Amino acid sequence: MLRYHIWTIGCQMNKAESDRLAGYLEQSGYQSTDTAEEADFIVLNSCVVRQSAENRVVNKLAALKSLKKSRPGMSIAVTGCLVNGNTEQLQKSLPHVDYFLKPGESPRWFDMPATQDKTRMLVSAHPSPATFVSIIQGCDNFCSYCIVPYRRGREKSRPVSDIICEVKELVRRGVREVTLLGQNVDSYGHDLPGRPDLADLLVELNAVDELFRIRFLTNHPKDMTSKLLDAIASLEKVCGQINLPVQSGDDEILKAMRRGYTVEHYRRLARELYQKIPEVALSTDIIVGFPSESEEQFRHTCDLLAELRFDTVHVAAYSPRPGTIAAREFQDNVPQDEKSRRLRMVEELQERIATETNARLLGKTVEILVEAREKGKWQGRTRSGKLVFFPPEACDYLGQLVKIKIEKTSPWSLQGKLEISY
Q: Which residues bind ligand SF4 (CB under 6 A)?
A: 139, 141-143, 146, 148-149, 183-184, 220
Q: Which does 290 bind (CB under 5 to 8 A by kind): ligand SAH, ligand SF4, none?
A: none
Secondary structure element (H or E) that encloses residue 305, with its range: helix 295-308
Minimum gap (Å) between residue 196 Cβ and ligand SAH: 21
What is the per-residue binding string for ligand SAH in 179-208, x denoting contact by CB under 6 A?
Answer: ----xx------------------------
Nearer to ligand SF4, 214 or 244 (CB): 244
The footprint of ligand SAH on residues 266-285 (CB under 6 A) is 285
Distance CA 319, CA 306 (A): 25
Distance CA 12, CA 215 (A): 12
Distance CA 156, CA 104 (A): 10
How much of the chain is helix, strand and coil, in % rounded to 5?
Answer: 35, 25, 40
Q: Are strands 99-100 and 401-409 parallel, antiparallel or unpaired?
A: unpaired
Minimum gap (Å) between residue 409 Cβ and ligand SF4: 32
Interacting residue with ligand SAH among 318, 378, 389, 397 (CB under 6 A): 318
211 contacts 353 by C-beta, under 8 angstroms: no
Q: Which does 213 bind (CB under 5 to 8 A by kind): ligand SAH, ligand SF4, none?
A: none
Q: Is 390 in the site for ligand SAH (CB under 6 A)?
A: no
Q: Which does 386 bind (CB under 5 to 8 A by kind): ligand SF4, ligand SAH, none?
A: none
Interacting residue with ligand SAH among 18, 22, 47, 50 (CB under 6 A): 50
| 235 phi, psi to nearest 5 deg | -90, 120
Distance CA 12, CA 181 (A): 7
Nearer to ligand SF4, 154 or 364 (CB): 154
Interacting residue with ligand SAH among 46, 157, 248, 319 (CB under 6 A): 319
Distance CA 169, CA 19 (A): 14
Distance CA 88, CA 111 (A): 23
Which residues of this chain interact with ligand SAH, rule CB under 6 A?
49-50, 145-146, 148, 183-184, 218, 220, 245, 247, 285, 287, 316, 318-319, 321
